[in-house]
Each structure stands twice: as C-alpha cells, then as structure tokens.
Amino acid sequence: MLAFPDSFPEGPPRSSRIRLLLWLFGRARWGVLASALISSVRFVSLVLLPLVLGLAIDSGLSEGLTAQVWAYGAGLVGLGLLAAGADSLSHIAEVRNWMKTAYTVVTNVDNHVSRTGERMTRSTATGKVVAVVASDAAYLGNILEVAGSVIGGLVAYLVVAWLLLQESALMAAIVLLGLPLVTAANLLVSIPLQRRQATHREAQGELTSLASDTVAGLRILRGIGGEDVFTERYREQSQSVRAAGVRVSNWAALLSALQILLPGILVVAVVWVSAALAVRGEVSAGQLVTFYGYTAFLRDPVTRIGYFFIHASRAWVAAKKVVELLRVEPATGRLGDADLPGTPLPLPERGELLHDGATGVSIPAGALTVLVSPSPDTSAALLSRLARLDDDASALVRLAGSPVADFRIADVRQTVVYSQANPQLFSGKLTAELDVRDREDRLDLLAALAVADARDVLESLPEGLDGSITEKGRSLSGGQRQRVALARAVATEAPVLLLVEPTSAVDAHTEKRIAANLARHRAGRTTVVVSASPLVLEHAENVVFLGADGRERARGTHRELMDRARDGDPVAREYYRVVTRRDLDEEEVDHAAPAR
C-alpha cells in the first residue's frame, strides 16, 4: 500500500505538458525501471520458449526420445514458470506506477486548487477541475503503467531479431521491417484519435459543470419554473458528449482492429516464407515451428505498443488540462506560501490598525467597528480588501503601518480572519466544522456556539459536537448555517475578525443576542462588521458611514450619528435613512400627527 505523504509533492512544471510528463516520469523512474526489467525477463522467457521447442523437435526427429529431449522439456517448464512469476510481478509494478502517478497528479491539482482559491473558481469551471481529478489523473497514470512493459517488449523484439539473424537473414528482414511498419500505422491512426479525444474531454467538462450548477441551483430553478429549460440544456450537452464519444470510439475501434490485423498479416508472412524455406530444405521442421512461435509471440508486444499510443494520446490531452490548471496563479502571495506555518503578527493596542488607501478608510485597533453603506456590496468590498483576498485589490491596504502585501500570507491568515456573507459549510462532524485550527478544545467550541447563539444547532444533533452536518449544511436552516459559520470564525480567536452581514438570516431577537454576545466576547480585540442593523450598531464602539464610492462620509457611535441626523446634518440624515429604511421627515410627520 502506498504511504500517505507528510507533505504534498512540490515542483510540478507548469510551462508545458512535455515537461510535466517528463517530471512525472522522473518521479516514477525507479518503478518504471523495475517494471521494464521484470517485463524484459517475462518477454525474453516467452521468446526462448519457441526456440527451445524447436530444438526439442529437431532433436526428437533426428535422435528420438533422448535425455537431451527431456532436458529441453525441463527447460520449457522452467521458462514457463519464470514467465508466469515475472508476469505477476510486472503487473504489481505496473499498477504501482499507475497509482503513484495518478496520486501525484491528484494531490498536486488538489493542493493547487486550494492554494489559488477564488482565482481558480473565476478562471476555471468546476466541471473541468472535477474531470482532471476523476479522469485525466488516471490517464496520466496509464502512460507510466504501460511504459515498462513496452520497454520490455522492445527488448524482446531485439532478442528475436538477433536470433532470426542467426538462422535466416530473410526472416530477420521481414520481422525487422514489419514491426516498425505496424507501429507507424498505429501512430498515424492515433493522431486523429487524439484530436477527437480532446474535443470529447472539453464537452465532458462542460457537461459536468452544467450538472453541478443545475444541482446547486435546483431550489431556485424550481422557484422560477426553470427546470425544463435547464433539463433541455443538459440533454443537448449530453447528446454532444455522446456524439463526441461515438467519434472517439470509431477511431479507437479502428486502432484496435489494426492492432489485430497488422500483427496477423505479419504472422502470415513469416509463416509463409518459413514454410517455403522448409520445403526447399533451407530450414528444419523445428526452425519452422520456432519462426512461427516468434511471430505469434510478437503479437503481444506489438499490441502493447498500440495500447501505448492510445494511452499516450489520452495522456497528451490530459497533460494539457493539468498544465492549464497549474498555470493559475494564487490571488494572494506565492504558490506554497499558505502551506508554511503562520504566526500572528504583532499589532498595536490602540490607534490606527487597518487603512485602505483606495478610500482613505481607517479601522482603529481593539474596537468593534461597523461599516454602513447605502450599498452593502460597497462595505463588503472594503472588507475583502482589508482581508487581503486579492493582492492586486489590496495593494493600498496597510496593516499596523505596513503594506499588508509585504507580510507572509500565512501570518496574515493567522492574524486576520474573514467570514463572508454566504459562507461555505462542509460535510462532517460539527467539531471539524468549527475547529478549523485544530485546537481540540471543546470548551472553546461550546463558547463560540454560545456567542453565535447556536445552541439549537447543537441540540438538533443527537451526538452534539460529534454530530454530522450534511454537505453544504443542507440539514440546517439558513439561519443555522449562518450562525455555525459565525461560531467557526469566532472560534479562531483571531486578533482581527472581519464579518460580512453575520446576522442577516436570523430573526430580530436572535440578532440582538448575537450582537451583545459578540461585543462582550471580542472586547478589547479588533472586530469589523458589515451591517446596517440597528441591533448590531447599538453595540458598536465605532460606526463608519461610507458613500457609494466607498469613501468615509461620517464616523461616530450609532447614537451620535442618529442625534446628528435629528439636528439636521445631511450626511447623518442619509445614514438615518439607510439604517431605519425610512426618511427622518416621515418620522417627524408621524410624531406630529394627532391621535385619533
């Protein structure tokens, strides 16, 4: 069994598919060499069988049943046992090479996708990533699986050629010229097969993406009555995949037929010529049997060479897909930075902690700050820049007085934790969902759930913290999912916590409790929240009102801004309109209206 590595394999080349294939071969070189040696022993043993059989026939015809014939018989048994043992060992070596190569590709692609994050999702469809892991990795493994047996077959071919040269130059010429011609014919057929396989893989990736999107948005599709439309789109794409698959199958069938036909023609030619030589007395009966045995044997390595071209064409297409994924650069830092151990950065206890140069907005240290804007997306965009989700967008952001991009991304992630408006939950135990930093402190997890007012989630799971959550948290309501995500962020105990609309899916009573819990739990630490809810704003030590362009227009506590609005401050009145969803003039009219 292959041992799970302590770390992901490093250094897959991303410049070209040829370099990627050579890199994979280099990693599996000893396995391929072992497979080649074992396959050579197997094939050479099979080559010697017709030679020994021919010698036994000639000896028996000329001298009868002598000790020499028995010795030849024992030699045949020994060669058969040797070939059988080598066959078993070569199969083990081939499967190991396939598993190691496919596993290397899967781990590197998986690690690269996790490193590049959102940049990967923006540039590559989900279906293509799934197709690379599910199919292309196996195709790359196949090429190294058969490489050793092809080398062994070529060694046996050279042995046959040398033996034939000892017996008949004409027979040697037929075999030496016949096999390259057969190989060339297979190669010519594999070229159009490769093009059709590439088209089929593209269509298959699009179909997988369409299926993934349809399943993920099934509830929305039902709400708008769009199931039939998307079902028809899936049917059309499915038929495109089927048609492309048929075209691939046609050429694959032609190649398979040539693998049988062409070696068969070669066998017929060798047998016919050797029979003619035997009639003229130029070769013996034993030699005739040997020549036939050689050509019958050669069908196996020739077939393997044909399969090698099929696997090579698939691997060539698969390598292109893998390289395209590996060329995607991460949005933050450099490849591998996120794998390094991170250490929380030293932060000031007071004064400015975060500053966005694009808008001029500053966030003080050690306080609960709430960002309010007429457009929540504006505030969320500011928070994503402060979280350094994209180095290009965060180029003007400063953390503790220094450009945030100058810090190691691993250290930034240990210091600043960001939770988006629609966070992703994963299937598995609740403890694994919450304890993303492997602290293994169940009391801290319970405290985080209490802050998020998520005790009902705990009670809904029969096994409590050890209970399981289904994929994407589908077993939970929208509010429960949001509170579990908030508890997950709180459980990190990060020095800086950035939250986007953490209470948008809960009722007012729950929101009020969460706001109070969060302010109490995070007292003295920097917490920035995007929200326009008065229940959250009441607990903010600092409220920053942003304009449509993201620039700061007003700052203060919630009560201060509300008082300024009532005093006629136009910016504060706009703030009032955003957080109350009504104009201050309307409230004054309501208060002035006589009671009835």
pLDDT, one tens digit per residue, over 477-509 is 888 888 999 999 999 999 999 999 999 888 999
Residue 359 DSSP class: T
Cα separation, 498 vs 384, in Å, equals: 9
416 beta partners: 496
- pLDDT by residue (tens digit) across 266-320? 778 877 887 887 778 777 888 878 877 877 777 777 667 767 877 888 888 889 8
**Helices in 426-551 by DSSP H: which ranges?**
430-434, 442-451, 455-460, 478-491, 508-521, 534-537
pLDDT reading at 225 higher than 70: no
CATH 1.20.1560.10 range(s) for the chain read 17-168+283-327
Cα separation, 543 vs 558, in Å, equals: 6
Task: Kindly state the average pLDDT of the residues 385-406.
Answer: 92
CATH architecture assigned to 17-168+283-327: Up-down Bundle (1.20)
Cα separation, 536 vs 422, in Å, equals: 18
Smallest CA-to-CA distance from 392 within 154, 13, 118 is with 118
123: phi then psi, degrees, rounded to nearest 5: -100, -20
Task: Kindly state the average pLDDT of the residues 455-484.
Answer: 81
- pLDDT by residue (tens digit) across 124-150? 777 678 778 878 888 899 899 889 888
Superfamily classification of domain 352-580: P-loop containing nucleotide triphosphate hydrolases (3.40.50.300)
CATH 3.40.50.300 range(s) for the chain read 352-580
Percent of the chain with pLDDT over 70: 88
Give residues with Cβ within 8 angstroms of 270, minimum separation 6: 171, 174, 175, 178, 291, 292, 294, 295
553: phi then psi, degrees, rounded to nearest 5: -115, -25
Rg of the chain over Cα atoms, rounded to whole angstroms, equals 36
Beta strands in 195-344 (DSSP E): none
Q: Which residue has the tokens 């047996």?
A: 149
Helix (H, G, I), strand (E, B) or coil at 428: strand
Q: Which residue has the higher pLDDT, 306 or 547?
A: 547
Could you tell me the CA-to-CA distances from 452 to 29, 343, 438, 514 in Å, in that order?
Answer: 53, 26, 20, 6
pLDDT reading at 553 higher than 90: yes
- pLDDT by residue (tens digit) across 89-108? 989 999 999 999 999 888 88
Q: Which residue has the higher pLDDT, 27 or 303?
A: 27
What are all long-range contacts of 24-31, with beta carbons under 8 Å and residues at least 24 apart? 24/101, 24/104, 24/105, 24/140, 24/144, 25/144, 25/147, 27/100, 27/101, 27/104, 28/97, 28/100, 28/101, 28/144, 31/93, 31/96, 31/97, 31/100, 31/144, 31/148
pLDDT reading at 541 higher than 90: yes
